[in-house]
Structure 1
Amino acid sequence: MTSQERAPDGGDTQQLGTAWWMVAVLFGLYVLSWVDRLIVSMLVTPIKAHLLLSDVQVSMITSTSFAIFYAIFGLPLGWAADRYSRRWIIFGGVALWAVATTACGFAQSYEALLVGRIFVGVGEAALLPAAYSLIADAFPPRLLTRATSTFQMAGKVGSATAFALGGVAIAFAAAHSGIHIPFHGPAQPWQLVMMMVGVPGLLIALLVFTFPEPGRRGATRAARPVAEKGAIAGFVRQNWRLLALMLVGTSCLAMCGYSMTNWVPAYIERHFGWKPVQYGVALSLMNIVSAVSLVINGWIVDRLFTRGMKDAHLRFYSWLILGFLPVIAYMFFATNVYVFLVCYCVAQFITVPFMVYVSSIMGLIAPATIRARMLAFFLFVFTILGLGAGPAIVAALTQYVFRSEAALGQSLAVVVTVCSIIALLSFRMALRYLAPTIAARAVHAPAA
């Protein structure tokens, strides 16, 4: 590995400063992606009324269509991130999802809105594989979980921003209902909101060019084609038990998290009678608290790992799930809205961090030349099952099993509780494989 490609070590303050600035830019882009992704969940009521949609159609717009194309395009974009400039891949993705979100504001039918959401999914699929690959190459192992947890915190900050500013944006748009938009005509409030959150992304995307791209840790250009031949098949064959159990656990937690993210706003409206301007601030605060917990969790895991607990990522995570499982089981039976919000905040301590731990583990066990593709594959699986299936199962249970929109909380309780238990069992089973795999990789990996 040449000096230009060498990842910074812990003692190089200047390079670490540049690496943290890179995390800050990626953080901002990830916040933006969550705002564009989640704002539609706060617009369920006006969109249903305007386009005359059912809950199942709403789930297609808010989650399923987005998830399918996010997952499918994540695979080739992960492949591209292992070969080409990750900054350009991210820039193209941000520009695409910003345009697509803006285009959703021009939709006048269910089909048009569905197509717009599909392209939002395609654009957002570019960010995570490339971003986690950049972070893994820019930081030494002892800081990796802290860096990835800081970046992943942006998901909850983005959720908080969507809920906080979303309520304000909805109120502003409602006050300007019917305003004439060029090439559109009089706009509905929900359409104005989609335009307002989409347009800024075109400018924010340029920040990706304010930091240099780090060299790929442990790989040279000359050796890359040889090293890549059969690398993924060999890695999966050698570690299939660990990978399978991690996939099951993370997919179940994704189903929990995405089901709540997509349906909790509607649940609060239906069950407690709160409007977006009321619950927006509350959900924003809950997301900020869970975001801070990500950094704390990352610090704890790094400390445990440094002290010799090589399976700290999954062991600590399983402790969190076990400790908070009673809160999750009770959450949707709470009769007081404030009790529910506290439970919802606690639940996010286990539904939010799974990508932090997956990306950190991949950074420790996967060769640099296949890391982005392995992360893309994980994203593919738990996006299809989590974001694609989770909210859709909630909608199906509500519409076809309980046969009442008022039973949304029961549907959420079934999905969230069952999936949390399966995730706990999967991670506990995976512990026997994780530490030996990390130890074996440390022995055979070249010095960083």
Structure 2
Amino acid sequence: MGRRTMSSETTPVKGRSFTLCLLIAVYALNFLDRQILSILKEPIAAELHLNDAQLGWMGGLAFGLLYSVLAIPVAWLADRYSRVWIMTTALAIWSGFTAVCGLAGSFPQLFLARMGVGIGEAGGTPPAYSLISDLYPPKQRARALSLYSLAIPLGSAAGILFGGLMAATVNWRWAFLVIGGLGVLLAPVLRLLVKDPVRGRFDKPQTGQLNLMGVVRLAAGKPTFWLISFGTACASLVGYGFLYWFPTFLARSLHMDIVSRSELFAGAFLISGIAGIFGGGWLGDRLGPGHKFAYPLIPAIAFIISAPLYALCVMAKTPQMAFLFVLIPQALGLTWIGPLLAATQHLAPANSRSQMSALFLLITNLIGLCVGPYFFGKLSDLLKPHYGADSMKWAFVIGLGFYIVAAVLMALASRTIKKDWVD
């Protein structure tokens, strides 16, 4: 992997739509590998004899800890070396470990395999954010990053649906083996067809390059960064927890079989995810350039509205009601992605964006991804003696309070973002 200078990098202006589409495909596979576990929890738990807390550790800490921490050194590399090479290597690693998940025979083995998936996926996101920011000018970035983030509902829905169908027709192990093999095959395609654009080509020239401690010191002086990061972390705690445990709620409270709940949740998340992510990006590009306070204020309003609507969803008495009631809050819960990712790209110079993004993701994922699935699983175990099969329902209701905290932090960020903005 040779070091690239700005003069040696190519600028794929004509092929940027194709590049974005391929990046979306890779990111979709990222979430497919990540979320397939949510629908396979029940057959895995039955075979390996796991409780909700252990399932929460496996969906959260096992994946999220190394994923969050390793994103920092990977981002340092991405600000200096080929982003495409880094993403190619990462894709091969996380896909290989996904396949290994299908061979696990115990909780420790599966836990370690999920850690390997997290190691690989640490190299997927920060380089892609930086690369997309060099493909599109500032006034188009929120939409471009939102289009890229459509991979979240596409990949998650595909993983949930495929995992459910595979578990019902063969077994849960083959779901991991097939998806992991697909990613290994896609890795060389990414390397051959995607080129690095010139860094900062749409931004003001920057002198020098910040090292990691320089980026940390820069972030330390920007209240907006911390408000957005911890606000997103609180919202992600709910989002990741809900995404991981909603199929379990459908199984226990609404008594749905694995195929029925995979079809319901995949369809609901696909519709709401696309609407919420694209809508948030459109609003960010529409309102943000002239009113920078809109970038954090859009998700603040969305979180406030989402909380009571999610509570209404988990109180549903039939699968049809649950499907209808989950669409709006799920969409609103994802509107933050485009506006806040675009805003984060403007809290650091162009040549340090990957590291700033990784620092943002470190905070967000250590709280949201690592804690979210475990929090709801542990809370469900604690509530089970009193609420029985409905313990997960009431765990959701209690956890929705984090959306209110997230909304308050975003509202505060809307008052500081103009001062902290970097053009």
TM-score (norm 1): 0.87
* Paired letter, 1:273: H
Of 373, 393, 398, 2:375 maps to 393
| Structure 2 counterpart of 1:342, one-letter code | L
* Equivalent residues, number: 414
1:144 aligns with 2:141: yes
- After superposing the two structures, state which structure 1 stretch, 247-256 or 201-210, moved more: 201-210
Contact kept, 8 Å, 2:56 with 2:378, in 1: the verdict is: no
* CA radius of gyration, larger in: 1
- Aligned residue for 1:62? 59
- Residue from 411, 432, 435 that aligns with 2:395: 411
- Superposed displacement of residue 375, structure 1: 1.0
State the secondary structure of the residue aligned to 1:432. Answer: coil
Q: Deviations over 1:273-320 (max 9, x none)?
A: 1112112122122122123221232122211134x1122211222222
Q: Pick from 263, 272, 281 the counterpart of residue 298 of structure 1.
A: 281
- Structure 1's 326 and 16: CA in aligned 2 closer, same or farther, altered over 3 A? farther
Which residue of 1 is the match for residue 339 of structure 2?
A: 357
Q: Structure 1's 75 and 144: CA in aligned 2 closer, same or farther, altered over 3 A? A: same
Question: CA–CA distance in 2 between the matches of 1:315 and 1:114?
Answer: 38
Percent sequence identity over matched residues?
Answer: 26
User: SS of 1:107's equivalent?
Assistant: coil
From the superposition, tell whether residues 344 and 222 of structure 1 become closer, same or farther in structure 2 (CA, over 3 Å).
Answer: closer
Residue 124 of structure 1 and its aligned partner are, at CA, apart by 0.8
Indicate how the Cα distance of structure 1 residues 285 and 74 shifts in structure 2: closer, same or farther if over 3 A, else same.
same
SS of alignment partner, residue 50 of structure 2: coil
Listed one character per residue, the Cα deviations across residues 139-197 of structure 1 (whole Å, up to 9, x for unaligned) are: 10010001000001101111111122222222221xxxxxxxxxxxxxxx111221111
The one-letter code of the counterpart of 1:409 is K
Assess if the C-alpha contact under 8 Å between 1:217 and 1:368 holds in 2: yes
1:432 aligns with 2:420: no
Q: Residue 179 of structure 1 corresponds to which residue in structure 2?
A: none
Which one-letter code corresponds to 1:21 in the other structure?
Answer: F
Task: Choose from 335, 357, 366 the match for 1:384.
Answer: 366
2:19 counterpart letter in structure 1:
M
Kindly provide the amino acid, as one letter, of the partner of residue 392 in structure 2: L
Determine if contact 2:306/2:328 at 8 Å carries over to the other structure: yes
Structure-1 separation of matches of 2:206 and 2:278: 37
- Contact 1:103–1:116 (CA<8 Å) still a contact in 2? yes
State the one-letter code of the partner of 1:202.
V
Partner of 1:327: 309
TM-score (norm 2): 0.92
Instruction: Tell me by how many angstroms 1:385 deviates.
Output: 0.8
Indicate conservation of the 8 Å contact 2:76/2:212, yes or no. Answer: no
In the aligned structure 2, how far is the partner of 1:229 from the partner of 1:423? 27
Is contact 1:7–1:140 with CA below 8 Å preserved after alignment? Answer: no
Query: Which blocks of at least 5 consecutive residues in structure 1 are unaligned?
Result: 9-14, 174-188, 443-448
- What is the identity, as a one-letter code, of the residue corresponding to 1:160? A
1:268 is matched with which residue? 250
Equivalent pair of 1:96/1:120 in contact (CA under 8 Å) = yes
Structure 2 counterpart of 1:177: none
* Partner of residue 88, structure 2: 91
> Which structure 2 residues correspond to residues 118-157 of structure 1 after superposition, within 5 A?
118-157=115-154
Q: Matched residues in 2 for 1:231 and 1:245: separation?
A: 19
CA drift of 1:401 comes to 4.2
Give the superposed CA RMSD: 2.3
What is the identity, as a one-letter code, of the residue corresponding to 1:321?
A: F
**Pair 413,5 (structure 1): closer, same or farther in 2 beyond 3 Å:** farther
Shift of 1:405: 4.6
1:312-352 deviation digits (Å, cap 9, x = unpaired) = 21122222223333312322222222222222222222332
Contact 2:24 2:151 in 1 (8 A): yes
- Distance, in Å, in 2 between the alignment partners of 1:3 and 1:190 is 46
Question: C-alpha deviations, 1:333-381, integer Å up to 9, x for none?
Answer: 2222222222222222233243433321122231122211111111111
User: What is the deviation of 1:6?
Assistant: 9.2
Whether the aligned pair in 2 keeps the contact of 1:152 and 1:353 (CA below 8 Å) is no
Which ranges in structure 2 are unaligned for 5 or more consecutive residues? Answer: none
- Mapped partners of 2:10, 2:285: distance in 1: 19
In structure 2, the partner of 1:421 is 404
Residues 237 and 5 of structure 1: CA distance in aligned 2, closer, same or farther (over 3 Å): farther
